[in-house]
């Protein structure tokens, strides 16, 4: 847990140093010289969500972006704010976003104005697509890096606590299930068994068969990003670009394809159609379960 806290503190320090201003209003298209990602600090990409209109919400260590459905343009969201009884702040840099199928977005992160609110924003909710965020709970104490939903249960990995927070009552209360003492990069839940969780670190996979109460090693992996299709197909994308599938809940893996870059986030539609945000903010798509990939949005270089 101490290691997780140290890693989160280092991340927060980077956020405070790189915090952006509080401009509001229009969201202009970037010119070709603008980069979406700062390669001097990690994580590069925090979230990738595909909206109903086909556009993408993409958050990185340089801000909050909307990518057109056909990848032809990208706009920065400059007027996103988090609001709490203690005050408000622009938000967008190092922002976690998750569409959990309830009509709202859940999120977490750090204020772009470090003097306005605590450095850990806890659990946030947005009802307008990510422009206005309300603090739900755990302001100042939780830094949520991963948000998953299975049925009525929410699973959130908190980097401060080093634990999965499990809630089955709409975030009113949580069970705290501590994870191995490493920075967790991704987490998925078996769509057919809500007690079965798989998490990844920089070097390992771990599995739990009791909703996070106990964890066991489940093989080595290089900074794996994970996705589990509702029909049972489990996928992982590794730092070297390998894209693999497992038919036995992560016990063994078969390489099925090669990504055109280093993966950071997977957005899954079904077992065949997926998108992956790459390290520079570009987005690649597969329509055949990962066997072939095409870059549908190329981030400015």
- CA 218/CA 236 separation, integer angstroms: 13
Across residues 13-31, what is the average pLDDT?
A: 37
The burial of 248, by beta-carbon neighbours within 10 Å (0-12 exposed, 13-18 middle, 19 or more buried), is given as exposed
Indicate whether 4 pLDDT > 90.
no
Indicate whether 295 pLDDT > 50.
yes
pTM of the predicted protein model = 0.88
Dmax over Cα atoms in the chain, in whole Å?
Answer: 50
Class of domain 2-297: mainly beta
Predicted local confidence at residue 102, as pLDDT: 80
Across residues 193-221, what is the average pLDDT?
A: 97
Q: Percent of the chain beyond pLDDT 90?
A: 87
Sign of CA dihedral 279, 285, 286, 289: positive
Predicted local confidence at residue 135, as pLDDT: 97
Q: What is the DSSP letter of 203?
A: S
Q: Percent of the chain beyond pLDDT 70?
A: 89
Q: Which two tokens stand for residue 124?
A: 């946030």
* Nearest Cα residue to 22 out of 120, 113, 131, 94: 113
Predicted local confidence at residue 175, as pLDDT: 98
Across residues 173-185, what is the average pLDDT?
A: 97
Across residues 37-60, what is the average pLDDT?
A: 96
- CA 125/CA 8 separation, integer angstroms: 21
């Amino acid at each position: 847990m101490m290691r997780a806290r140290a890693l989160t503190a280092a991340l927060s320090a980077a956020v405070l140093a790189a915090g952006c201003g509080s401009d509001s209003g229009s969201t202009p298209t970037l010119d070709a010289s603008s980069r979406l990602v700062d390669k001097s600090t990690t994580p590069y990409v925090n979230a990738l969500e595909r909206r109903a209109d086909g556009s993408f919400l993409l958050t990185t260590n340089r801000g909050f972006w909307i990518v057109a459905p056909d990848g032809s343009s990208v706009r920065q969201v400059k007027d996103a704010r988090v609001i709490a009884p203690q005050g408000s702040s622009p938000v967008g840099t190092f922002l976690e976003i998750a569409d959990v199928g309830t009509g709202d977005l859940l999120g977490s992160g750090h204020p772009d104005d470090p003097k306005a609110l605590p450095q850990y924003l806890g659990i946030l909710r947005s009802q307008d697509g990510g422009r206005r965020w309300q603090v739900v709970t755990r302001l100042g104490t939780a830094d949520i890096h991963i948000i998953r939903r299975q049925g009525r249960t929410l699973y959130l990995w908190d980097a401060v606590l080093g634990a999965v927070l499990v809630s089955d009552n709409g975030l009113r209360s949580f069970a705290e299930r501590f994870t191995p003492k490493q920075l967790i990069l991704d987490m998925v839940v078996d769509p057919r068994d809500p007690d079965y969780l798989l998490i990844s670190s920089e070097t390992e996979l771990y599995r739990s068969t009791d909703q996070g109460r106990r964890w066991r090693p489940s093989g080595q992996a290089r900074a794996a990003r994970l996705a589990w299709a509702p029909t049972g197909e489990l996928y992982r994308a590794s730092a070297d670009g390998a894209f693999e599938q497992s038919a036995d809940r992560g016990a063994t893996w078969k390489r099925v394809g090669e990504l055109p870059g280093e993966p950071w986030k997977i957005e899954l539609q079904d077992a065949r159609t997926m998108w992956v945000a790459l390290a520079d903010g570009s987005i690649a798509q597969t329509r055949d379960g990962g066997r072939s990939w095409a870059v549908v949005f190329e981030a400015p270089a």
